[in-house]
Amino acid sequence: MTREKNAMLDLFPEAEKPIEIIPARKLAAKAAALYVAPADHFQTRPVDELLLDFDGIAGDFHAGPTRRAGGREPWYPRGTEMRNERQLSIVAADELAVVAQRMGLAEIRPEWIGANLVIEGVPNLSMLPAGTLLFFKGGVTLKVDAQNGPCRIAGRSIAENAGMADVEAGALLFPKMAKRLRGVVAWVEKPGTVRASEEISVRVPEQWIYQA
């Protein structure tokens, strides 16, 4: 970590604590597995490649220039049209393994929770900051929008697919057990085709904590 004298010190030279800027950094990763959802259901199925345009994965359930607001946007009436920043769901196998263990399951398969991409090689994937760029060797770029919040719909799908005795209890358990472990959502900055096993250069942007 390096410290950078913040410009605010010139405004308020008496400020005790300058904002610490963590420099941008790169990580090497891999597209371990790819999945697409049919247009009418959020669960995904394995594929060999993802065809991406500016709206997301061509034909996927979550593709589109805009989407309808839901429970994640309590500040909007349900159904409000808003920009679709949640085009792709990205998860990590090690994080899903922790969630599975917590839920008493042998596994949670990425397709059960509608993941489009399993990334290998990024520790704490769910904690990647907004604005992280994923440069795929084949030319595609995805931009991380935010940490993905686990919801009951995905929980119910896990409970059903894993054959849990109490599906509703399983549905409720997932949001608690998967907090900060359910990966991130991202949108397409630069379109193209992503292939399984493709290398990814992950650019974590400069980081700091905003203080008002």
* Residues binding its own copies (CB under 8 A): 6-8, 10-11, 19, 22, 25, 27, 54, 65-66, 75-76, 80-83, 85, 94-95, 98, 102, 122-124, 126-132, 135, 141, 143, 145-147, 179-181, 187-190, 203-212
Which residues are within 8 A (CB) of 142 and not within 5 positions of it... i.e. 6 or more apart?
88, 90, 133, 134, 136, 186, 187, 188, 189
Quote the least distance from Cβ 53 to its own copies, whole Å: 10
Quote the least distance from Cβ 61 to its own copies, whole Å: 20
Closer CB to its own copies, 116 or 141, in the complex = 141
Please give the single-letter amino acid code of residue 203.
R
Question: How far is 14 from 63, CA to CA, in rounded Å?
Answer: 50
Helix (H) or strand (E) holding 74: none
Quote the least distance from Cβ 72 to its own copies, whole Å: 12
Closer CB to its own copies, 22 or 153, in the complex = 22
Quote the least distance from Cβ 201 to its own copies, whole Å: 9
Closer CB to its own copies, 60 or 95, in the complex = 95
Question: How far is 57 from 54, CA to CA, in rounded Å?
Answer: 8
Closer CB to its own copies, 32 or 142, in the complex = 142
Triad 161, 164, 169: Cα angle to 5°? 115
* Residue 207 to residues 11, 23, 132, 149, 178, Cα–Cα distance (Å): 21, 7, 10, 21, 24
Quote the least distance from Cβ 81 to its own copies, whole Å: 8
Closer CB to its own copies, 10 or 40, in the complex = 10
Question: How far is 150 from 147, CA to CA, in rounded Å?
Answer: 10
